[in-house]
Amino acid sequence: MTSKSIYWPEIPFTRWRETGQSLHMQLQIVGKFRLALTPWMNHSWQATFYVTPRGLTTSTVYGPDAAYEVVFDFVDHALKVLASDGREVQVPLAAMPVADFHAAFVEAVREIGADCDMHGAPNEVPDATPFRKQTDGGAYDPDAARDFHRALLSVDRTFRTFRTGFLGKSSPSHLFWGSFDLAVTRFSGRTAPLHPGGFPALPDEVTREAYSHEVSSAGFWPGGGGVEEAAFYCYAYPTPDGFGDQDPGHPDAYFHKELGEYILPYAAVATSANPHTALMGFLQATYEAAADRARWDRSALECGVGEPRRPRAV
């Protein structure tokens, strides 16, 4: 199997759209399980998913009497609900209404002894209809899900490499189930103005805690929300003067004035001669746009990109 068959696949939005809408709701349902059992961490980092060779995982979730993990396995196309005592329940990843998936997951959680009180409606979407009332037929294209996962593997690898070049506070590369994006965020170390909030179906206190400090945040999402194709983004909070006027590091990148973010189409990266290098260029240039315009102390915050088996020079 060649590397090209594993990394940087085509992920056309027209093929992905309906599967993505269903997976977004399914990820929210499972994400709320982790949220219900995990102590709050800064910037909601306790609630995210992580990319694995087979899909997405909650990582270990601790209950009162056992530990659990929930995995979206895009190789077997199954949701795997695991317990530390060896119990495992699987729910097929297949076309079904959101209400049916919700019922199946709640039952699976009960079977492994992890029953908990989970919030029953989605966040960060305009129509926050409770999951149990979303009875329209869902969609699941196994090929679209597989290629989405392979794209996540490609992006996650580059995001993790980018993270190594920063000495300051930085998030992991992790997927937020509310906004449905894989993100990596750098922090200047300074507090930020109180965020105005206003995101749909999201308490303002959550938004304000997430943006309590200055950030330069980059991410990837598979399309929707004003950009109808898979794309990378970078934004800063607070947005410094002149941020949108800088060189974004790639000829196909642009500043989206309505969103207040730099955008780079996924296809422009995936079809380039060296996708990893192309994406690293965008990430570095847009970070510099934020850090320079906001006058971050870059000399104290940055270091060379990490290499395997070589400690960082001090």
Given a cut of 90, whether residue 5 has pLDDT beyond it is: no
Give tens-digit pLDDT for 182-235.
Answer: 999 999 999 999 999 999 999 999 999 999 999 999 999 999 888 999 999 999
pLDDT exceeds cutoff 50 at 145:
yes
Domain parsing of the chain, residue ranges? 10-133, 142-301
Q: Print burial letters for 30-44: b (CB count within 10 Å at least 16), e (below 16).
A: bbbbbbbbbeeeebb
Residue type, 51: V
In 49-58, which positions are buried (b, 16+ CB within 10 angstroms) versus exposed (e)? bbbbebbbbb
CA distance 27 to 34: 11
pLDDT band of residue 314 (cuts 50, 70, 90) is: confident
Q: How many helices (H) and strands (E) does the chain have?
A: 8, 12
Structure tokens at 129: 């209809």
Give the pLDDT confidence score for residue 2 in this predicted structure.
42
- Give buried/exposed letters for 164-174 (b at 16+ CB in 10 A, else e): ebbeeebbebb
Question: What DSSP character marks residue 244?
Answer: G
Q: How far apart are CA 95 and CA 138, in angstroms?
A: 5
Q: Does residue 264 have a pLDDT over 90?
A: yes
